């Protein structure tokens, strides 16, 4: 069974440039998450989707970040414009039983460097 | 404020040297505590779920335990392949339910 697929794996951009990350969750998983992980820290939730509905986006900096999950499958996370502090690993995760079980399946992440 | 703290930040052991990692939490409305393993350049990988004080879970050389204020991840006779960052996370009720991660413990097992 294929795992959570993310792209690109690495991205280097100048500040003020836009960037987008893509995530394909495990087939059949209706819950999708975007997390941000700074170096030496644990992941922090940015947004959680149940199917195509964003049910928790309280931690998403909405002035520059946006996300969408069309048709309840793939998802895209966009940053525009990027700032130096956005350098981090952006992790996508999915689950089938809901987050209550804590069993999330993570992708390998997209490492963003903003210069 | 809900908080999850892991200690130590880093731990270096010799192969076969048993030890424990700690995860302490101060949260309201705890619904569960979870342990993950993260290898460099990879996403976290789920290990265990614990729901109530006194509960224990085991997997190979790892055993996770839970009390009302903290959890321990015991590693018995570790091998170099156990080297990784171990993350603790708690699920809480805060308006909307959410999963909060600690900062992790970086474990190195020397052969």
B47-71 pLDDT per residue, tens: 999 988 999 999 999 999 999 899 9
Count CA atoms within 13 Å of residue B67 on its CB side: 8
pLDDT at B31: 81
Name which of A106, A47, A56, A79 is nearest B44 in CA terms: A106
Among B residues 14-73, those touching chain A with beta carbons less than 8 Å apart: 31-34, 41-46, 49
pLDDT in tens, A29-62: 988 999 999 999 999 999 999 889 998 898 899 9
Return d(Cα A42, Cα A62) in angstroms, integer: 21
**Residues of A with Cβ-Cβ distance to B92 under 8 angstroms:** none
**Residues of A with Cβ-Cβ distance to B31 under 8 angstroms:** 100
Name which of A38, A73, A35, A41 is nearest A56 in CA terms: A35
Mean pLDDT of all residues in B9-14: 97
Does A14 score more than 60 pLDDT?
A: yes
- Report the mean per-residue pLDDT for chain A: 92
Return d(Cα B110, Cα B88) in angstroms, integer: 23
pLDDT at B96: 53
Return d(Cα B2, Cα A103) in angstroms, integer: 21
Beta-carbon contacts of B110 under 8 Å, excluding residues fewer than 6 positions away, are B12, B13, B14, B15, B80
Q: Point out the residue among A42, A102, A103 whose CB comes nearest to the CB of B104.
A: A42
Mean pLDDT of all residues in A17-29: 96
Does A99 score more than 60 pLDDT?
A: no
């Amino acid at each position: 069974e294929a795992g959570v697929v993310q792209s690109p794996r690495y991205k280097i951009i100048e500040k003020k440039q836009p960037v987008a990350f893509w995530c394909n969750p495990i087939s059949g998983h209706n819950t999708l998450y975007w997390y941000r992980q700074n170096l030496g820290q644990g992941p922090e939730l940015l947004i959680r989707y149940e199917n195509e509905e964003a049910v928790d986006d309280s931690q998403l900096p909405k002035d520059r970040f946006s996300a969408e999950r069309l048709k309840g499958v793939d998802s895209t996370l966009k940053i525009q414009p990027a700032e130096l502090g956005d350098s981090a690993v952006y992790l996508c995760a999915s689950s089938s039983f809901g987050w209550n079980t804590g069993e999330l399946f993570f992708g390998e992440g997209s490492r963003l460097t903003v210069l | 404020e809900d908080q999850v703290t892991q200690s130590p930040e880093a731990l270096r052991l010799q192969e076969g040297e048993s030890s424990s990692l700690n995860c302490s939490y101060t949260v309201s409305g705890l619904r569960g505590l979870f342990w993950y393993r993260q290898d460099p350049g990879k996403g976290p990988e789920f290990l265990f779920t614990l729901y109530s004080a006194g509960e224990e879970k085991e997997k190979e050389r790892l055993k996770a335990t839970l009390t009302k204020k903290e959890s321990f991840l015991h590693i018995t006779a570790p091998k170099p392949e156990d080297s990784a960052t171990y993350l603790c996370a708690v699920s809480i009720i805060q308006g909307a339910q959410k999963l909060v991660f600690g900062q992790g413990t970086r474990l190195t097992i020397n052969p």
